[in-house]
Structure 1
Amino acid sequence: MTRTAPDRAAYAALCNKNVLYSERVCMVVVSESSREWLTNGKWFSTRQAGALVIGGDHRALGVVRSLGRKGIPVWVLRDHHFVAGLSRYAKRHLRWPAGDGDRLQYLLNLCEKHKLHGWALFPTDDETVALIARNHSVLRKRFRLTTPPWEVLRLAYDKRLTHRLAVKNGVDQPQTYLPKNQQEIAALECRFPVILKLAFTQGANDSTDSKAWRAGDREALLSSYDEACALADPEVIMIQEWIPGGSEEQFSFAALCVDGDPLAWITARRTRQYATDHGLESSYVESADVPEIEALARPLLKALSSTGLVEVEFKRDPRDGRYKLLDINSRVWDWHTLGSQAGTDFPHLLWRVIHGERIPETRGLAGARWVRMVPDLPAVLKEIFQGRLAPRTYLRTLRGPLEFAVFAFDDPIPALVDAPYLAWQAWKWRAKAKPFSGVADERPQGEFIFPTAGVAGIPPAIGANNDVAGRQKFQTARNSPGKSGSLKRDATMVCSVCVATYKRPQTLDGLLRSLVQQALPKDVVLEVIVVDNDPERSAESLVRQYENTREITFQYFSQPIKNISLTRNVAVQNTTGTHILFIDDDEVACPDWVARLLKALKEYDADGVFGPSVPFFDNTAPEWIRKGVRLFVDTIPVTPTGTEAGLTWTCNCLVKASLLRGIEGPFDPAYGLTGGEDGDLFERLKRRGARFIYCNEAPAFEYWPSGRTRVSYLVRRSLMGGSFHTRMTIAASRRKMRVRLFLLLKAIFFGLTSLALVVIAFPSKVWRTYWEMKVASNTGRFLAVFGRYYQAYK
């Protein structure tokens, strides 16, 4: 970002860290009343023209419908979103250019070419709002503006100035720090975890892939700061404490204001949210009477001299019960169409104000609801599956008055494309998501881990060929026949590693080597429990070659009945450690695997930690599967370390031993042939109150031979996944018939949608395979509703 010298001087005065607060932040001096530029009678007659809505998502769609239903001509300037342009109320839609300079000239040329003088501009995203505010004096001569000038807007646009404004007005907020450099961060005294975020968006780059980086300790904070500095100006980086609590603690005060005085307003709870590449967005919102946040928001808006549409976001801190300011959005917000059901149709009310009408003060009614159905369904299913939401309760939330974000009976076309579009967006997000962060590429050398020829092209790791200490540890454990060691006596923690194996001696050998070479904390020792599911005991001779040392011991057991649950149960029953780790026999662990999982468990005060399981291939793997691997596996978390684990697995995890020893089994033998025994166990533990998180810094690497690089394998894997997830959902529900019906309809809808997308994506092998997997997954769900389960281990 480039500032002129006066801009830098003004900003330095506003952000002087030696002064608690600059009065200049609070004293907004406007050379003319907001009503003058808002109605703009100097330049235009009172004749009503039309509206230019800038943006193409569901927010823009809400503005288009609000105005179009009143007979107002609406054009849409769409970005990469396009549902707003498909509305029957959009008279025309044009492509919105990318660069700020191009955008300003584009607006000026558009006005002259099509005689749009006096049309109203309705921006729907932060960057466009800032563009209009910075060029207010130029644009107001051609358009009616709904955005305040930059000297007003910047106090809400720049989160650093918003923070100082909140301090001045006595509004609680998360503890906030504005570091100048890495040295200040290293010396920062703060309570972890914290959030590192940008004060405002600086164009389109990778820093916009998420609103924030979460850091659980100082090391992670310094690493995140370096990453953020590579993507954005260090001046715009700020740090805030993490406020605990879920979506049910999120509240908003939204209003149409003139000179800081609300003319129409509503308070709401943002009850459910879903993940996007920009963080969390609301999927279900309900209006409610929350006088506490209204009392907090009104002084802020007055201090801002806010004019136009504005949303003030709060989160209730469960630790002290206080509402804390998160953000101020001076534009239309995700759920603004809730107002049409609550008596505050915000875009049309703003239209009336800019044309000189006086409207009475209006408070939005409580009890109205807003839902964006497609992304809300996964959030609902997760809550039902985890026992936090009953199906009947969910259905009650859909009673009127209800406003859909996209669907409308009088305007159905946008809804028909919304589901495929969101699926495409989810694919893009997952495809570009990093499989793990904060750790070097540690995928193993095939020559070391798996002596089979052909595994190449993978960076060295595990330290086998370049770590002398690790090599010596391996030789001691592997080649010392007749020496039987015992665990070191000064150890304070024994960790038990459970491995179930079946006819995979080469990959099992690679796994055991990676365990021998673990860089363990000084007070930790390992006991490795290998349970062989092969009646011929094919793994016994290999395990017997590994002798015990003071840091690691090996035990071999046989469980001949073909049932993965029984095999895992034998391993758990023979553990003696305080913590139990699970890893598969076709994987290898990163060098600090145990240490990183233990660190995350302690840091986030969790009961269990799940690390990524990242595939690696030999030289025969086709290019399409290498490109699409992040889509084809669901054991690579796309959320930050410390995030609550949704999907769970035993291919890379650590749990407190007390959890497993307190329940029968613990793995259910009913899932022994179908798979899903791990998901079933961990979901049962969640319902008992266990808390599980992800740790992206502790990967395990799964070898995929040529047999797994075929579409048929991926389809079977998806069929199994859909089958056991549906089976677990039904088993966990109390009203099984209703849940079965719900899941049946869901499987049919998404199965047919996926089938259509297979045809659309046919030219691309990656896309086609992905949607074929979705068809298979929903087929598995459909069959599971009727009690037919795919048997993966038959």
Structure 2
Amino acid sequence: MPFEADRDVPGLIVKFGDYPLHHGGVGAIRSLGRLGVPMYAITEDAYTPAASSRYLERAFVWPTRGTEDADHLVEGLLRIGRRIGRPTVLVPTDEEAAVLIAEHQDELKGPFLFPRVAPGLPRRLASKQGLHELCVEHGVPTPAAAFPQSYDDIVAFADRARFPVVAKNREAFVRRSRPAVGGTTRITTREGLLALARDWGERPGVVLQEYLPREQAEDWIVHAYFDQDATPRALFTGVKVRSWPPHAGMTAHAYVVDNPELADLAARFIKQIGFTGIIDLDLRYDRRDGQYKLLDFNPRMGAQFRLFESESGVDVVRAMHLDLTGRPVPEGEQRSGHRYVVENIDLPALLAYRRSGYTTPHAPTRASGTELAWLAGDDPLPFVTMLARFVRPGAKHLYQLWRTHRRGSATAPGG
């Protein structure tokens, strides 16, 4: 590779909540570990795929739910920092971690390195309402949306809405309270909306959004790292071919596809809002009006980030480590045509998409190379551990997600 990372500065994978089968964390451990960077990770237990990676120096077993008091989480991070004993780059893998780091920068800046950002910005970007308001303010296309404050507001919306519509939880931290909906929920009738809304309480925490029909849309991804001046040091675009649950969930299969228009849209928006750090954006191209509409803004590393690497060997996690340690980030074109496959969810996704007859027009007919989420010749144990933990409960979970999707509800895009 045309660069060397600072091997004296470790990396720490920061995750809150119970989701041990997270391929993004494994990817980050491998990405920096292959450069000789010592890697540490917070894990639910000692037997997660991340904990089994040959590139992990140590797993800090710390079961969390994402509902703990912020002071408790900050103190836990500081305790881990003292045990590592040297400045360490933080790599958050969820919104809870990204927001906590941003809102407690002064307490964490001693033992840890991370991009400095306006403290309230990541929370606002992770919120459906906050993101919608920023998009409107800066002229970035986004689906039309309403944010009802009461059941009467929902009735008024139902009287004028064009169905189907989509309901999502308004705020990012749905684990902190009882979510109104299980994820992205497609609602086809006025009566269906009013029936669901009766369970949402006096102050419904939902956004009601314009439905973008999949027959007239394409799902696109932008991953990037922006430095302290909100300048992109690594920026990639790709198209999502399959997700699980179908059309509304986690990326199962994706390709790198050059899209200068989309890259420019993302770079301009980030410059306008002044964000620094890693981003993972989900956008839907609406063929009816020719616009890329921003659906989700994840102010952290996305689970599928290893789809993207430049010809100089840089991905967004490597770009952040290089930048935070004062090293130049080499330029290079993205590997167009490269694909990414998440083995444990792509097969059910493939079967579902074949039944629906849906295809992605911009997906290449042949991949220039393939990156698997779990299986790696130089690091096989995470794949074996994933299989051991996934086979029985994982199959049951996939079935439950499929049943939910069949009823018209699915988890939100992202990751």
Paired position in structure 1 for 2:23: 58
One-letter identity of the residue aligned with 1:192: F
Residue aligned with 2:214, SS? coil
Paired position in structure 2 for 1:367: 337
One-letter identity of the residue aligned with 2:245: A
Q: How many residues align?
A: 387
Paired position in structure 2 for 1:108: 78
Residue aligned with 1:306, SS? coil
Paired position in structure 2 for 1:661: none
Alpha-carbon offset, residue 202 of structure 1: 3.5
Paired position in structure 2 for 1:350: 320
CA 1:414–1:247 in structure 2 vs 1: closer, same or farther (change >3 Å)? Answer: farther
How many angstroms apart in 1 are the aligned matches of 2:380 and 2:86?
31
How many angstroms apart in 2 are the aligned matches of 1:213 and 1:384?
22
Paired position in structure 1 for 2:390: 422
CA 1:431–1:96 in structure 2 vs 1: closer, same or farther (change >3 Å)? Answer: farther
Preserved CA contact (<8 Å) 1:152 1:306: yes
Alpha-carbon offset, residue 94 of structure 1: 2.0
Residue aligned with 2:328, SS? coil
Residue aligned with 1:91, SS? strand
CA 1:374–1:431 in structure 2 vs 1: closer, same or farther (change >3 Å)? Answer: closer
Runs (5+) with no aligned partner, structure 2:
1-5, 411-415
Paired position in structure 2 for 1:86: 52
Alpha-carbon offset, residue 287 of structure 1: 0.7
One-letter identity of the residue aligned with 2:98: V
- The answer on 1:406 being equivalent to 2:374 is yes
One-letter identity of the residue aligned with 1:317: D
> Alignment partner for residue 195 of structure 1, among 153, 163, 166?
166
Preserved CA contact (<8 Å) 2:216 2:288: no
Cα deviation 1:410-462 (Å, max 9, x = unaligned): 001111232343334445536877xxxxxxxxxxxxxxxxxxxxxxxxxxxxx
One-letter identity of the residue aligned with 2:62: W
Preserved CA contact (<8 Å) 1:262 1:361: no
Paired position in structure 2 for 1:594: none
Preserved CA contact (<8 Å) 2:314 2:330: no
How many angstroms apart in 2 are the aligned matches of 1:229 and 1:79?
33
Alpha-carbon offset, residue 375 of structure 1: 1.4
Alpha-carbon offset, residue 380 of structure 1: 2.3
Preserved CA contact (<8 Å) 2:225 2:232: yes
For residues 430-509 of structure 1, the aligned pairs below 5 Å read none
Cα deviation 1:126-166 (Å, max 9, x = unaligned): 11111212211111122112463423323312221211111
- The answer on 1:641 being equivalent to 2:398 is no
Alpha-carbon offset, residue 283 of structure 1: 0.9
Paired position in structure 2 for 1:253: 222
CA 1:85–1:208 in structure 2 vs 1: closer, same or farther (change >3 Å)? Answer: farther
Residue aligned with 1:268, SS? strand
Alpha-carbon offset, residue 299 of structure 1: 1.8
CA 1:49–1:341 in structure 2 vs 1: closer, same or farther (change >3 Å)? Answer: closer
Residue aligned with 1:284, SS? strand
- The answer on 1:313 being equivalent to 2:282 is yes
How many angstroms apart in 2 are the aligned matches of 1:361 and 1:66?
17
CA 1:115–1:382 in structure 2 vs 1: closer, same or farther (change >3 Å)? Answer: closer
Alpha-carbon offset, residue 70 of structure 1: 0.9
Alpha-carbon offset, residue 344 of structure 1: 3.2
Preserved CA contact (<8 Å) 1:341 1:402: no
> Alignment partner for residue 209 of structure 2, among 222, 228, 240?
240
> Alignment partner for residue 114 of structure 2, among 145, 164, 169?
145
Paired position in structure 2 for 1:162: 131
Cα deviation 1:247-277 (Å, max 9, x = unaligned): 971002221102322111111001111129x
CA 1:415–1:400 in structure 2 vs 1: closer, same or farther (change >3 Å)? Answer: farther
Paired position in structure 2 for 1:72: 37
How many angstroms apart in 2 are the aligned matches of 1:286 and 1:247?
19
How many angstroms apart in 1 are the aligned matches of 2:103 and 2:356?
48
> Alignment partner for residue 213 of structure 1, among 171, 176, 185?
185
Residue aligned with 1:207, SS? coil
Preserved CA contact (<8 Å) 2:53 2:379: yes
One-letter identity of the residue aligned with 2:386: D
Task: Identify the structure with the greater helix proportion.
Answer: 1
Paired position in structure 2 for 1:762: none
Indicate the larger mover: 330-339 or 311-320.
Answer: 311-320
How many angstroms apart in 2 are the aligned matches of 1:227 and 1:269?
36
How many angstroms apart in 2 are the aligned matches of 1:431 and 1:383?
15
CA 1:70–1:216 in structure 2 vs 1: closer, same or farther (change >3 Å)? Answer: same
How many angstroms apart in 1 are the aligned matches of 2:333 and 2:138?
24
Preserved CA contact (<8 Å) 2:217 2:287: no
CA 1:97–1:421 in structure 2 vs 1: closer, same or farther (change >3 Å)? Answer: closer
One-letter identity of the residue aligned with 2:378: D
How many angstroms apart in 2 are the aligned matches of 1:386 and 1:196?
22
- The answer on 1:298 being equivalent to 2:267 is yes
CA 1:82–1:395 in structure 2 vs 1: closer, same or farther (change >3 Å)? Answer: farther
Task: Identify the structure with the greater strand proportion.
Answer: 2
Cα deviation 1:305-356 (Å, max 9, x = unaligned): 1111102221012333322111111111121012236543221121010011
One-letter identity of the residue aligned with 2:222: F
One-letter identity of the residue aligned with 2:342: R
Preserved CA contact (<8 Å) 1:53 1:122: yes
How many angstroms apart in 1 are the aligned matches of 2:40 and 2:387?
24
How many angstroms apart in 2 are the aligned matches of 1:351 and 1:181?
45
Residue aligned with 1:227, SS? coil
CA 1:121–1:226 in structure 2 vs 1: closer, same or farther (change >3 Å)? Answer: farther
CA 1:334–1:228 in structure 2 vs 1: closer, same or farther (change >3 Å)? Answer: farther
> Alignment partner for residue 142 of structure 2, among 160, 163, 173?
173
- The answer on 1:124 being equivalent to 2:93 is yes
Paired position in structure 2 for 1:262: 232
Residue aligned with 1:243, SS? coil
CA 1:351–1:317 in structure 2 vs 1: closer, same or farther (change >3 Å)? Answer: same
CA 1:85–1:340 in structure 2 vs 1: closer, same or farther (change >3 Å)? Answer: farther
CA 1:247–1:266 in structure 2 vs 1: closer, same or farther (change >3 Å)? Answer: farther
CA 1:59–1:229 in structure 2 vs 1: closer, same or farther (change >3 Å)? Answer: farther
Preserved CA contact (<8 Å) 1:253 1:267: yes
Paired position in structure 2 for 1:753: none
Residue aligned with 2:51, SS? helix
Residue aligned with 1:325, SS? strand
Preserved CA contact (<8 Å) 1:344 1:364: no
- The answer on 1:133 being equivalent to 2:99 is no
Residue aligned with 2:225, SS? strand
Preserved CA contact (<8 Å) 1:285 1:370: yes
How many angstroms apart in 1 are the aligned matches of 2:190 and 2:256?
39
Larger Rg: 1
Preserved CA contact (<8 Å) 2:216 2:287: no
Cα deviation 1:571-624 (Å, max 9, x = unaligned): xxxxxxxxxxxxxxxxxxxxxxxxxxxxxxxxxxxxxxxxxxxxxxxxxxxxxx
CA 1:251–1:432 in structure 2 vs 1: closer, same or farther (change >3 Å)? Answer: closer
Q: Once the two structures are aligned, what percentage of the paired residues are identical?
A: 28
Alpha-carbon offset, residue 396 of structure 1: 6.1
One-letter identity of the residue aligned with 1:380: L
